[in-house]
Amino acid sequence: MRVVVKIGTSSLTDEVGVIDESMIASVCAQIAAAHEAGHEVLFVTSAAVSAGVAALGLDRRPGDVGTLQALAALGQPRLMGRYIDCLAEHGLVAGQVLVVPNDFIDRHQYLHARRALSRLLDLGCVPIINENDAVARHELRFGDNDRIAALVSHLMTADLLLLLTDTPGLYTADPRTDPAARLVEDVAADDPLLAVSAGATGTTRGSGGMASKLTAARIASWSGVRAVIAEATRPSVVADAIAGVAGAGTTFHANDRRMPARKLWIAFASQVEGTVVVDDGARRALLERGTSLLPAGVVKVLGDFDDGATVEIVDAEGAVFARGMTLVDAAGIRRAAGRRTSELSPDTAHEVIHRDDLVVLVGAPRR
């Protein structure tokens, strides 16, 4: 089995943000056990910034982008060193792979990343993956490693995505405030995985939270990959997730259709910059026939954005049902809104969003 394991900052650090050596030892031992059992493991880790904070002896995590990037540059090699040493104790060689969003949306970079990771696995190594925080543009980055792990699971055609966190899984409500909250053990592939109320982040030390894990689980499901959200401190959690042990966490079952990586990026990983309101006819065309979005179906444009921006597509009631990457900027869409193709000038784009850059978010994923 090919497995992608991701662990977050909140699970790797204590209450003041210091790296928990026992957790690193535990996860490395479990990766080694899975490797010994014949599984291929790719490991996605957070906490580079926390390692940088510790290296400088800071008493808190700063908030400005420049300092965070500097701390990531300091912390990443220190974090990798700990993993390299720990995995070496189990006879494993680790290799560092730093990624940026373009590695998943540009076809050449996508194939290059897949070749590099595949070769590491062929050589019996453990790829350790993180976002290249030190140089990533703030406006074009993932922001959390949950989505990176999900996109890696798609890239590598994984069998399982395991998201290790500081809770046993997804609950029906916040267990910290609702004593009646219960663990959701199974989520079917056709469930609206993101229609669950979840906090954006559980701690001040990490950048993810349950909301980002739900997004990652949906990316995995629409990639044909089973996903499990589980507690990092659970004994043998990696082995239990691989074996599908009941109660090991929340399992999100794989959809039988596999969405292309570019559409996964548009749907779940890119930053939304505006909204396009469409009429009922356009909504039916997009949902039922998988067409491109034409200017004639546009009712209103909210926000100012350039061409190539990711926007939400909403119906007359304001319900979001799709996302897409525009061929035209906001001003151009406003000028063409409601006009038929025959009424448009030759130098005006005749499509607002091409079908290849549009993702339906309700019901089964459309290719």
pLDDT band at 121 (very low <50, low <70, confident <90, very high): very high
327 pLDDT more than 80: yes
Residues 212 and 232 in one domain: yes
Per the domain annotation, does 365 fall within a domain?
no
> Among residues 351, 331, 193, 348, which one has the least CA distance to residue 285?
351
Per the domain annotation, does 173 fall within a domain?
yes
Residues 168 and 247 in one domain: yes
* Residue after which a domain boundary falls, among 263, 284, 316: 263
Per the domain annotation, does 367 fall within a domain?
no
Per the domain annotation, does 366 fall within a domain?
no
Q: What is the mean pLDDT of the chain?
A: 87
Residues 110 and 218 in one domain: yes
Per the domain annotation, does 338 fall within a domain?
yes
Summarised one tens digit per residue, pLDDT across range 277-293 is: 999 999 999 999 999 99
Position 364 scores a pLDDT of 44
**Cα 267 from Cα 215, distance rounded (Å):** 10
Position 267 scores a pLDDT of 79
Domain count, the chain: 2
Residues 310 and 209 in one domain: no
Residues 76 and 223 in one domain: yes
Summarised one tens digit per residue, pLDDT across range 167-201 is: 899 888 878 888 888 888 998 877 654 444 444 44
pLDDT band at 140 (very low <50, low <70, confident <90, very high): very low
Position 174 scores a pLDDT of 79
CATH number at 258 reads: 3.40.1160.10
What percent of the chain shows pLDDT beyond 90?
Answer: 55
The three-state secondary structure class of 280 is helix
CA atoms within 13 A on the CB side of 326: 27
Which range marks the domain in which residue 120 is found?
2-263
Reported as type and span, the H/E element at residue 262 is helix 261-264
Residues 183 and 110 in one domain: yes
* Residue after which a domain boundary falls, among 229, 263, 297: 263
Task: Name the residue with higher pLDDT: 248 or 102.
Answer: 248
